[in-house]
Amino acid sequence: MENKVALVTGAAGGIGEAVVRVLAERGAIVAALDRDELRLNDVVDRMKAEGLTVRAFAVDVTSSNEVEAVVAQVEEDLGPLDYLVNAAGVLRLSEATVLTDADWALTFAVNTTGVFFVSRAVVNRMVTRCRGAVVTVASNAAGTARVEMSAYAASKAAATMFTKCLGLEVARYGIRCNLVAPGSTDTPMLAAMFQPGGPGPAASIRGNADAYRVGIPLGRLAAPRNVADAVVFLLSDQAAHITMHDLTVDGGAALG
Ligand code: NAD
């Protein structure tokens, strides 16, 4: 991956940061995108101090204008993009019958429409060069019903099918589009579920982090690096004949 140019959204988050790190360690030049500028700059400064080639770009993926502008800026500054990773995401837990309009709208705006905006802007450029690889970080919840996750799971299922259809359309240009579907992963998103005043997990498991882990046959949460390794594999030439594939990384939680 030496000198390949990569764009990663959600780069200030647990999984996004791990993806940025693995790519940069493999020699890629990485554009790290997030809407949380403070955390993003912190992540990027730490990596730069380690000698990794990473640049921060602030963007809200729910704005198509911002996305178009930032993708153009990334290519101007770093060169033509070889890899895209859609890792920005939000989780709003609520039972469907009391889910608010705002939480539904935000969930789809980030998890589904954001994936569309960023993928359209990047892949539109990749097709002119007939090369590129995309990985969208969806979720095992896209295919497995979960309590209090109706909006999240539906938004991830939509992002999953969008990414597969995109992969079908651009396969003729040699561009591959895959998915990684993590299960519970040890990141700020998961931690927020257990914080006082946080959204809180389902009533049956509220306040009991151990109960939440019972359904993981491998017996532990994923580390962000476990998910990042799968993402980078799918971007790499080792996955040269893999496209439109959804790779579950959940310790067996979805039971296959
Ligand atoms: P995280 O909350 O640590 O990181 C998500 C990042 O996305 C944050 O830095 C946030 O600022 C950014 N973001 C949110 N809205 C944005 C917007 N509008 N524009 C730009 N950036 C925005 O979460 P994470 O656990 O690292 O999640 C990464 C991805 O993995 C998400 O798509 C998430 O849905 C998915 N996922 C996570 C888990 C888990 O258990 N942690 C499980 C399955 C899937």
Rg over alpha carbons for the chain, rounded to the nearest Å, is 17
pLDDT at 202 over 60: no
Please give the pLDDT value at position 197: 62
pLDDT at 200 over 90: no
Where is average pLDDT lowest: 15-24, 102-111, 165-174, 188-197? 188-197
Question: Which residues, in sequence order, are CB contacts of 160 under 8 Å at separation 6+?
Answer: 136, 138, 142, 143, 179, 181, 246
Please give the pLDDT value at position 131: 98
For 227-238, what is each residue's pLDDT tens digit?
999 999 999 999
**C-alpha of residue 192 to centroid of ligand 1, in Å:** 11
Q: Give the rounded percent of residues in the chain with a pLDDT score beyond 90.
A: 83
Q: How confident is the model over 94-113, as a mean pLDDT? A: 97
Please give the pLDDT value at position 216: 86
Q: How far apart are CA 211 and CA 47, in angstroms?
A: 35
Q: How confident is the model over 132-161, as a mean pLDDT? A: 96
Q: How confident is the model over 168-174, as a mean pLDDT? A: 98
Q: Could you give the 3-state DSSP secondary structure of residue 202?
A: coil
Of 9, 17, 22, 34, the residue with max ligand 1 atoms within 8 A of its CB, to mutate for a pocket test, comes to 34
For 51-80, what is each residue's pLDDT tens digit?
999 999 999 999 999 999 999 999 999 999
Q: How far apart are CA 124 and CA 71, in angstroms?
A: 11
The rounded mean pLDDT for the chain is 93
3-state helix, strand, coil in the chain (%, to 5): 50, 15, 35
Which residue has a Cα nearest atom 29 of ligand 1?
A: 87
How does DSSP assign 31-59, residue by residue? Answer: EEEES-HHHHHHHHHHHHHTT--EEEEE-
Residue ranges with strand state E in the chain: 5-9, 29-34, 54-58, 83-86, 133-137, 176-182, 246-249
Where is average pLDDT lowest: 115-119, 144-148, 244-248? 144-148
Where is average pLDDT lowest: 78-82, 241-245, 250-254? 250-254
- Of ligand 1's listed atoms, the one at least distance from the Cα of 86 is 32
Q: How confident is the model over 34-38, as a mean pLDDT? A: 98
Which residue has a Cα nearest atom 39 of ligand 1?
A: 185
pLDDT at 82 over 90: yes
**Residues recognised as catalytic:** 152
pLDDT at 195 over 70: no
Local confidence band at 213 (pLDDT 50, 70, 90 cut-offs): very low
As for ligand 1, residues whose beta carbon falls within 6 Å of it are: 9-10, 12-16, 34-36, 59-62, 87-91, 110, 114, 137, 139, 182, 184-185, 187-190
pLDDT at 201 over 80: no
Please give the pLDDT value at position 236: 98
